[in-house]
Structure 1
């Protein structure tokens, strides 16, 4: 269904689905959702287009659920505001692993069927292979890791004396070599990534602070799977960039060719990489879009806090952030707004673990780390960035957005509902955030 109507709401949005290679998928009725969206955008009277991207761990139904919450949170549009919007949500396959419990119970005629709340080793191999590579060597390595993990009782505690079996450690190294990770991986896999060290760090982190809010890595099975989730995290991060610079960038530029409308982009989690990539486009020296995007809203971003700087601190190796071009006026002419929340455990605790050096390499009095996400620290290293007052519940007023400015805002008072290991990472269906996006869009006119 190209145009989705939210139950009990007046708001609608177009949903465009893509496969892992960035190819648009036809709807069930055979229609092309992007064509329907572009036709709606080119209709007389339309002034603004809002393009949304979900983040990691999202399948098609997850995308619908998230976009229903985002778009349905509030409707700031009024008859006298001179804005006639069209909203488009992009779905890219980002479901990295199942949240169901891993079991070694066989399925089929010779074994009991697993419960709906569990996933067999065979099923888990299929899920991870879809993300990491569907070839015999990758499948063999995955099976080695997952078979051992399934043999560990789910409630068995990890201890300092535990270690990965040699065949499991070797299987992880095989996965790394097949992924081909190199120096552009944000520090995760370059420089001698070691699954044994990752395992040890996950156990230590659990003992130190109950990582992810519930001490989840105090369980041996979870510690065994931590290196696999790091690899999948890297793969998902890279996929988000590729999708953003490819299919998403193409769609944004199709909008520019189809109609003289203002364009506003919003991304959540890895969707912030998608939207930044959609603005930037591909290549080492990106070409600006035909005209600038009018506003960019990055919500709880799982992207480096230094990714947008022109000059990273020399203590961290220096260099220019990958998305530094995005903040140039020929790429985004209006405001760029970034939320952060202390209740977002996925970005605040898992992200730095996943990029390897949690809690280390602090920078001066600001305590901005080498590895950390903008969903925890905001964007760092950009001159003239504005720190807005903390977002209050019920906030609707324009905080004074201006074109060409970067704004960081602490949204901990709103993005605060804890839900499992990720904390409040997915707690983004709030009217306050809708009003931020709306006011940023008005400033970008």
Structure 2
């Protein structure tokens, strides 16, 4: 449904704010608002633009709260430290990113009401089922509604779920992010197994949770017996499917939709354009920047707990021919690309590299302590699957800063080209995956915007 055209008021925020909405294929569903925004930018050529994409599991209320929280801190910094220039115009991206979170860690396998599934599971279950036909759809419902699955049932559910994810993705541009759009069944099973191990054993059935007779991959990606837990919670199939689906969807929204908006913003005004992305929103904005030649450089990029590969900027990715999917992005950014990471981010520091395990994600090879800069609290990436928001970048001539600076600390390095990552582990300055609308993150953006 189209939004009413015109700027809106975010709670406690003075600057004008615009929200532009996209569907899962990257089609703008608020074209009148988009046109009105571009007219406003053209009429205010001195006003810098902040373009921010939210991440996973953020619907309208959560996204706007996160946007407003960061902007309130930013405006406070602009008041305390004058000389920040003309009041910015804010552009918030809205895209369908609801997924099944594993943010709660060990209790992630619980249901909201005994014997029933929570609404997010029901919605996602139906969304996946709609990608299947006839008997396959009926069998998918029968399996996913079980309390637990044996090895044979797990094989069935994983193969049906992988097919549904593939059907949902369709055939988008294969260049997007250098990533494949559909997981193989064995890839999904590895993620399910990892999530269940993090959740702990199924209550009262510890004698049936055996470490033998499990699932591997055959020539066609079929699931075979090979060494994982014997019984699995079917909800973990939905969780893993949603991780793949939302990761791919973020790239599609950025590549097909936000790229055109970003290009138009850069063409309509000579003012600085500052790009921000949180979680999978980082993939939205990186894909937007990477997808096409832009009229001019983006002024700065700030990635808040980005849910993308820590090797996405690498000139050469070990174990694969070629560079990371976003290796060209830093050259399209005038004043550099900054990001945050934290060991307190459970999904990205602990789970991401266990759940996203496609063959294209390079395998469980050790990266080791190859970074020559400052040692950081978050530590070295445990595998080539590791997330940028969990550990920071590697093999990309990056600079790592072991503590996020307090507001008031001058950061001239943010106004120079290059990659710089700030570790928010110390002092819990990033205390969780969603802890990004803070005085510390707003200070990074403030320093990027100082002329």
Both structures adopt the same fold (TM-score exceeding 0.5): yes
Q: 1:391 aligns with which of 404, 418, 436?
A: 404
**In 1, Cα distance between equivalents of 2:389 and 2:335:** 21
State the partner residue of 2:355.
Answer: 354
**In 2, Cα distance between equivalents of 1:44 and 1:412:** 39
Deviations 1:197-221 (A, max 9, x none): 544443434459xxxxxxxxxxx99
Report if aligned partners of 1:125, 1:139 keep a CA contact under 8 Å in 2.
no
1:314-353 correspondence runs (5 A): 316-328=319-331, 331-353=332-354
Stretches of structure 1 lacking an aligned partner (at least 5 in a row): 106-113, 153-162, 209-219, 282-286, 419-423
Q: 2:187 aligns with which of 165, 168, 193?
A: 193
How many Å apart are 1:407 and its aligned residue? Answer: 0.6
How many Å apart are 1:288 and its aligned residue? Answer: 2.2
Q: 2:91 aligns with which of 88, 91, 101?
A: 88
How many Å apart are 1:17 and its aligned residue? Answer: 1.6
Report if aligned partners of 1:414, 1:430 keep a CA contact under 8 Å in 2.
no
1:97-136 correspondence runs (5 A): 97=100, 101=111, 119=118, 124-130=121-127, 134-136=131-133
State the partner residue of 1:111.
Answer: none
**In 1, Cα distance between equivalents of 2:324 and 2:145:** 40
Q: 2:25 aligns with which of 21, 24, 27?
A: 21
Report if aligned partners of 2:195, 2:355 keep a CA contact under 8 Å in 1.
no
State the partner residue of 1:4.
Answer: 8
Deviations 1:313-370 (A, max 9, x none): 2xx3353111111022xx2122100110110001111211211399942223344321
Deviations 1:46-95 (A, max 9, x none): 33111000001122222112212222223133564333311110000101
1:2-401 correspondence runs (5 A): 2-26=6-30, 32-44=32-44, 46-75=46-75, 76-77=77-78, 80-97=83-100, 101=111, 119=118, 124-130=121-127, 134-136=131-133, 139-149=137-147, 164=150, 166-180=152-166, 185=179, 189-190=183-184, 192-193=186-187, 195=189, 197-206=190-199, 223-281=233-291, 287-313=292-318, 316-328=319-331, 331-356=332-357, 360-366=364-370, 367-368=380-381, 369-383=383-397, 385-401=398-414
**In 1, Cα distance between equivalents of 2:127 and 2:86:** 42
**In 1, Cα distance between equivalents of 2:265 and 2:299:** 13
**In 1, Cα distance between equivalents of 2:243 and 2:387:** 13
State the partner residue of 1:212.
Answer: none
Residues 404-413 or 245-254, more deviating: 404-413
**In 1, Cα distance between equivalents of 2:415 and 2:84:** 18
SS in 1 for 2:8: strand
**In 2, Cα distance between equivalents of 1:98 and 1:387:** 29
**In 1, Cα distance between equivalents of 2:128 and 2:96:** 9
CA shift in 2, pair 1:194/1:278, >3 Å: closer
**In 2, Cα distance between equivalents of 1:194 and 1:222:** 12
**In 1, Cα distance between equivalents of 2:63 and 2:232:** 26
Report if aligned partners of 1:352, 1:372 keep a CA contact under 8 Å in 2.
yes
Greater relative contact order (CA < 8 Å, ≥ 6 in sequence):
2
How many Å apart are 1:139 and its aligned residue? Answer: 4.2
Q: CA RMSD in A?
A: 3.4
CA shift in 2, pair 1:9/1:365, >3 Å: closer
Residues 93-102 or 55-64, more deviating: 93-102
**In 1, Cα distance between equivalents of 2:181 and 2:351:** 15
**In 1, Cα distance between equivalents of 2:123 and 2:137:** 8
State the partner residue of 1:213.
Answer: none
CA shift in 2, pair 1:194/1:6, >3 Å: closer
How many Å apart are 1:254 and its aligned residue? Answer: 1.2
Stretches of structure 2 lacking an aligned partner (at least 5 in a row): 103-109, 202-229, 371-379
Report if aligned partners of 1:340, 1:410 keep a CA contact under 8 Å in 2.
yes
**In 2, Cα distance between equivalents of 1:175 and 1:296:** 35
Residues 1-10 or 85-94, more deviating: 1-10
CA shift in 2, pair 1:83/1:404, >3 Å: same
CA shift in 2, pair 1:51/1:414, >3 Å: farther
Deviations 1:161-194 (A, max 9, x none): xx63533430220221343389965799349426
TM-score by length of 1: 0.77
**In 1, Cα distance between equivalents of 2:265 and 2:162:** 38
CA shift in 2, pair 1:370/1:187, >3 Å: farther
**In 1, Cα distance between equivalents of 2:180 and 2:22:** 26
